[in-house]
Structure formats: C-alpha cells, structure tokens
Amino acid sequence: MYEEIKHSEVEVNGVRLHIAEQGEGPLVLLLHGFPESWYSWRHQFAPLAEAGYRVVAPDQRGYARSEQPEQIDAYTLLHLLGDVAGLINALGAEQAVVIGHDWGAPVAWSAAALRPDLVRGVAGLSVPPLPAGPSPLAAARENFGEGFYQIYFQEPGKADAELAADVRASLRRVLCGVQPDGKPRPWVVPEGKALLDTLPEPEHLPDWLTEADLDAMAADYGLHGERAFTGGLNWYRNIDRNNELMQAFKGLRIEAPALYVVGEQDLVNAMVPAPVLSYLLGEVTPNLYRHVRLPDTGHWTQQERPAEVTEALLDFLKHLDG
C-alpha cells in the first residue's frame, strides 16, 4: 500500500537513524511522538509528495528501526535538535519545513527557535511551544499527583518492562485507551495500579487504526526486544534536564511562519488550558499562520484525521511557497 515510500539509513551525531522518504522538491521533515514511528505519518507521504515536496520521516533516536543509545542523558532536547540539524545536512538540503506531533512538536518548535537558518517553517500538532520555566515535573506533581504518566515514566525500567511484555498489545491499548470516552483529561495512574491498568483492552479498533497498522508498528518496535519502548521513555526522563538546558534561550521567540493543529478532545488540552495556549501562541509564535482545532479528534491527530491534517499542512506549505 505504501510501496512508493523508500526506506534507508543515515548516521547523524553518531546515531544511526532509519528514514522513510517519498517525493522530490523542498524538504519537509515529519517528526513523530510517543509511542509512534515514521509510520504515524503514512497518510501524509503521498499527498505532500504529489504537491511537490520531498517528504522525510525519521524514526527518531531510540525508536523503532533507529539506533537506541544506552545512556538516558543521550536523549536531551539538544541531542534531538542535533539530529534534526544533522539530518537536514545529510539529506543535502539547506533548509526544511519541520512538522512535529506529540514529542516531535517540541523538537520542531525548538529547532525553529534555535536554528532559524535551517527551519523556514514550523508546524506543531497536539503540543504547543512550551518555553523554559520552573520545573515541569514539579508542576505536574502539584497539578496531577504522583500518578501522572510523565512522572510514572521517570523510574528506569518500570514502564519499560510493562510495555515491552507484549509490544503489540501495549501499542493497541495506548493508541485506543488514552482517551476511551473522548474527554480531554490528564493520563494518571492511580496509586497501587500499573500503567496498563489504566488502559483496558479495546473491544474493537477505531476506524483510523487497522490490525495491519498494529502489525507494522509492533514489528518495528519489537526490534529492540526488552527495550522496545526504552528509547522513547528516555525522552521523558530528560524533561527537567531539558528545562535546565533551555533556560539559556528563555524568551527566544519563533520567528518562522508557524502552524498549530490540535484535536478538540486531545488530552493536551487538559494540561494546557485555552488561556495559557492563547498566551503561548501569541507570545512565542508572532508569525502564527493558523491555529486549527479539529472537532471529534483526540491525541493521535494525523492518524485520526488524515484528510483534515493533510489539508492544513498543504495550505500551510502553499502559504510558505506562494
């Protein structure tokens, strides 16, 4: 079905990254989140390539077919920005439009802020730009308690083992169960419960996710065995470290043209209230082109609403390129 997508590997910053690619023209980088991979952009490749773009989606460091450094501190935001810069260079491009979802969004926003010479346009799905400030984990503890999923992920090996015990089942339960009733609320693990206790087995898959999709993602994640999810979880284990590192750039705005897309039922809305979001977008992205809110859409934006997300991205690219 996706036979036009080409797969290869590049080495950047000493880490081997798998990339999926289609099309020719100006470079568009698609950065996935957790627990996803290049495959989460499967619906966007062909339309963007047909519009005249070279579309490249890496498995980011630690994920799926890409290499997984051992040390937790090898997954800081600055390492991830280095991967983006190295990838643009390795692909022979001078600049790129960088688009990120979930964890990919902070990487995209930060790349636009810190490397404006490389990023000519930026789009974030689900997660808005979040400047450095007080400890994010301390704030999360105060607002959501010790069971908040980002805090639950901090203990090395704990969530890793739970999720890796059955990779396919874990992906199914996370993708289907983070918001089973469509209500935006933070993901919290009750005291005495395990992570997957909060994610019941779905009775059936949503219409945007097939058994073949799960097979494809599980096969890629399974390449890391017991560490199937460890690379992605290590991104969370650098949240406070990232905040410390980014203090040097506090107040830096994103001057590149920007797009923000979020589902109205996305759990991120429970963590970033509307007034805060409006402030962030207004202060951090002065050249915001559009703020798109998708009805009846949860967290897995480009998978749940591929046509609408693709339309928003094509409109944004048209805005950039006339």
Q: Which tens digit of pLDDT belongs to each residue from 106-131? A: 999 999 999 999 999 999 999 999 98
- Whose structure tokens read 């983006």? 84
Task: State the pLDDT at residue 200.
Answer: 86
| pLDDT confidence of residue 129 | 96
Q: What is the pLDDT of residues 40-87, one digit of tens each?
A: 999 999 999 999 999 999 999 999 999 999 999 999 999 999 999 999
Place of tokens 């609403």: 305
* DSSP code, position 162: H
Q: Distance between terminal CA atoms of the chain?
A: 31
Nearest to 177 by CA among 149, 141, 219: 149
CA distance 64 to 38: 9
Summarised one tens digit per residue, pLDDT across range 180-190 is 566 777 889 99
Q: How far apart are CA 186 and CA 178, in angstroms?
A: 9
Cα 34-35-39 angle, rounded to 5 deg: 105
This prediction has a pTM of: 0.97
Tens-digit pLDDT profile for residues 207-233: 999 999 999 999 999 999 999 999 999
Does residue 44 contact residue 23 with C-beta atoms inside 8 Å? no
Residue with tokens 């880490």: 15
Instruction: Give pLDDT, residue 11.
Output: 97
pLDDT the model gives residue 1: 59
Structural domains of the chain, with CATH: 6-321 (3.40.50.1820)
Q: Distances from the Cα of 153 to the Cαs of 84, 132, 236, 319, in angstroms?
A: 25, 21, 7, 39
Q: What is the pLDDT of residue 179?
A: 61
The residues annotated with a catalytic role in the active site are 102, 299
